[in-house]
Amino acid sequence: MGSIDANPAAFEAFGATGVDGFQPLNAEDVRSYLHKSVDFIYDYYKSVESLPVLPGVEPGYLRRLLQSAPPTSSAPFDIAMKEVREAVVPGMTHWASPNFFAFFPSTNSAAAIAGELIASAMNTVGFTWQANPAATEMEVLALDWLAQLLRLPASFMNRSTGGAGRGTGGGVILGTTSEAMLVTLVSARDAALRRIGSDGVAGITRLTVYAADQTHSTFFKACRLAGFDPANIKSIPTGADTDYGLDPAKLLEIMQADVDAGLVPTYICATVGTTSSNAVDPVGAVADVAARFNAWVHIDAAYAGSACICPEFRHHLDGVERVDSISMSPHKWLMTCLDCTCLWVRDTHRLTGSLETNPEYLKNDASESGTVTDLKDMQVGVGRRFRGLKLWMVMRTYGSAKLQEHIRSDVAMAKMFEDAVRADDRLEVVVPRNFALVCFRIKPRGSMTEQDADEANRELMERLNRTGKAYLAHTAIDGKFVLRFAVGSSLQEERHVRSAWELIKKTTTEIIKGE
């Protein structure tokens, strides 16, 4: 059989694809489109403060503004950009706005945007080390850098801090906290099944998992996905006596009762900075309880883990050397855009043992040598983005001092807001402030009942949000409707917090007066 080169006519049957054909990566187009996109981003950040934080659109609005069928013919890039400006931007909830106080922040930075842009342009799929050595090693390096900032024990690092060989632990960058919970739940499940000598998953109905009732709802979803019986997913009540953190004595009591009933304690999720109240579960004490039952302990530090790069907050992670895994999300509070959740485990083999795949087409000398960890084996899927670059860019560009300054500034602004609330006798701080979240509400006074107070607080939130000048969210604590004021948007300054406070005071006065 002759070579293809020997029969050039074979190509002619498929038509020519010369310089006039479709070239989606034409270098001049790349330069032009990206320059226009960068100009758009510049204009967006310059103007976002003046835009309503919540859009005034109705469901289905976008379909009415843009054509409902996909275009057949090409159009100038400027047309797409015009539609972005005129149709997409007006329908955005502006998380980048300095007047956004609703959920935990979704921070960003020039360095992160640049890293994301470069990684997207390279468009690598680094499922194995060989598939992209730089992407794998950059992720490993960035995770080890961040682990050092958090003062995690060397057992969680891909390489010991002394550089003397590979340890048992390591990390991986995932998309969300949900994924971190899911992969560690699966690993803990498999370890528990082996421990009780179960054939396959036959014994899964005996396995139990535990978390405080303040734990994010995604944990309970991940438990179901991992196959745990909903009856064995234990939500442990918390209260004001522990500042809504997990009570180790209550945890021990429940776990022992489960053992006495023939169940197998398998996994405990401890949270550092819960979504509703910013509660902190006592990591060391929880680990002590778990050790009695050989249960896996995972720390969800998605939000507040970022604060632990500051020495004054690091004590919230005391006891971390005795847990099995910890995750935190730099895309929340460490200036690294979505998506970026960092997961560290003390023993990567427990993770890869449950998640690894080894098809023939991915086999290579580096993987089989045992000197590298293929990050595909520490996540649910196989394909993966080059997430490590933007995280490294943030740490390399700003350094730990500026990142700590960013955290401390947000905490100081939150304390300023908290002090203002406490000084207003119409309002109350519902739980002690941790980090940069203040939970507050209009408190009952005079003939106002708790139900009346709930209605007043709901009205306060809705009026604030309708103005477009601020966006707050709510939660329920001890059955009460509570407003959450979360400081931390990348563009926020003290003047934005003060402006929001003045708006809250004015609106509270109008509600109490019945206006």
Q: What percent of the chain shows pLDDT beyond 70?
A: 94
Residues 195 and 61 in one domain: no
Q: 10 Å Cβ neighbour count for 23?
A: 12
Q: Distance (Å, rounded) from C-alpha 282 to C-alpha 115? A: 36
Full residue range of the structural domain in which residue 352 is found: 115-398
* Backbone phi, psi, residue 247, to 5°: -90, 110
Residues 93 and 127 in one domain: no
Is the backbone of residue 123 left (phi > 0), alpha (psi -120 to 50) or beta?
A: left
Split into its structural domains, the chain has a count of: 2
* Backbone phi, psi, residue 120, to 5°: -65, -35
pLDDT at position 6 over 80: no
Q: What is the DSSP string of 440-494?
A: EEEPP-TT--HHHHHHHHHHHHHHHHHHSS-B-EEEEETTEEEEEEE---TT--H
Q: Could you give the residue numbers annotated as active site?
A: 361
CA dihedral sign, ordered 328, 329, 332, 336: positive
Mean pLDDT, residues 227-238 = 95
CB 268 within 8 A of CB 286: yes
Flag whether 5 is in a domain. no
pLDDT at position 159 over 90: no
Flag whether 451 is in a domain. no
In this structure, the dihedral spanned by the alpha carbons of residues 15, 17, 20 and 22, taken in order and rounded to 10 degrees, is 110
Mean pLDDT, residues 287-316 = 97
Flag whether 161 is in a domain. yes
Query: pLDDT confidence of 19, banded at 50, 70, 90?
Result: low
Residue 243: strand, helix, or coil:
coil
Flag whether 26 is in a domain. no
Q: Distance (Å, rounded) from C-alpha 90 to C-alpha 85? A: 8
Nearest to 374 by CA among 194, 129, 150: 129
Terminal Cα distance for the chain, rounded: 89
Q: For residue 426, what is the DSSP state?
A: T
pLDDT score recorded for residue 18: 52
Q: Which of 353, 372, 398 is the last residue of a domain?
A: 398
Mean pLDDT, residues 196-212 = 92
Residues 83 and 143 in one domain: no
CATH number (domain holding residue 327): 3.40.640.10
Residues 76 and 142 in one domain: no
pLDDT at position 510 over 50: yes
pLDDT score recorded for residue 162: 42
Mean pLDDT, residues 487-496 = 96
Flag whether 483 is in a domain. no
Contacts of 98 (CB under 8 A, 6+ apart): 48, 49, 489, 491, 492, 493, 496
Mean pLDDT, residues 136-147 = 94
Nearest to 190 by CA among 227, 220, 218: 227
pLDDT score recorded for residue 382: 87
Q: Distance (Å, rounded) from C-alpha 514 to C-alpha 311? A: 47
Q: Which of 398, 433, 450 is the last residue of a domain?
A: 398
Q: Which of 398, 421, 452 is the last residue of a domain?
A: 398
pLDDT at position 13 over 80: no
Flag whether 500 is in a domain. no
Contacts of 414 (CB under 8 A, 6+ apart): 433, 435, 436, 437, 438, 485, 487, 497
Q: How distant is the alpha carbon of residue 83 from its chain centre?
A: 30
CB 456 within 8 A of CB 511: yes
pLDDT score recorded for residue 27: 92
pLDDT score recorded for residue 20: 65
Mean pLDDT, residues 325-334 = 96
Residues 123 and 80 in one domain: no
Residues 208 and 147 in one domain: yes
Residues 127 and 85 in one domain: no
Q: What percent of the chain shows pLDDT beyond 90?
A: 80
- Mean residue pLDDT of the chain comes to 91
pLDDT at position 164 over 90: no
Q: How distant is the alpha carbon of residue 99 from its chain centre?
A: 21
Flag whether 515 is in a domain. no
pLDDT at position 248 over 60: yes
Which tens digit of pLDDT belongs to each residue from 80-133? 999 999 999 999 999 999 999 999 999 999 999 999 999 999 998 888 888 888
CATH number (domain holding residue 84): 1.20.1340.10
**Confidence (pTM):** 0.91
Residues 94 and 129 in one domain: no
Residues 146 and 288 in one domain: yes
Angle made by CA atoms 307, 313, 318, in degrees to the nearest 5: 115
pLDDT at position 2 over 50: no
CA dihedral sign, ordered 172, 175, 176, 178: negative
Residues 77 and 188 in one domain: no
Mean pLDDT, residues 374-378 = 89
Which tens digit of pLDDT belongs to each residue from 423-432? 999 999 999 9
pLDDT score recorded for residue 158: 81
Residues 74 and 212 in one domain: no
Q: Distance (Å, rounded) from C-alpha 348 to C-alpha 159? A: 12
pLDDT score recorded for residue 14: 45
Q: For residue 272, what is the DSSP state?
A: B
Q: Are strands 480-486 and 264-271 parallel, antiparallel or unpaired?
A: unpaired
Residues 81 and 203 in one domain: no
Flag whether 250 is in a domain. yes
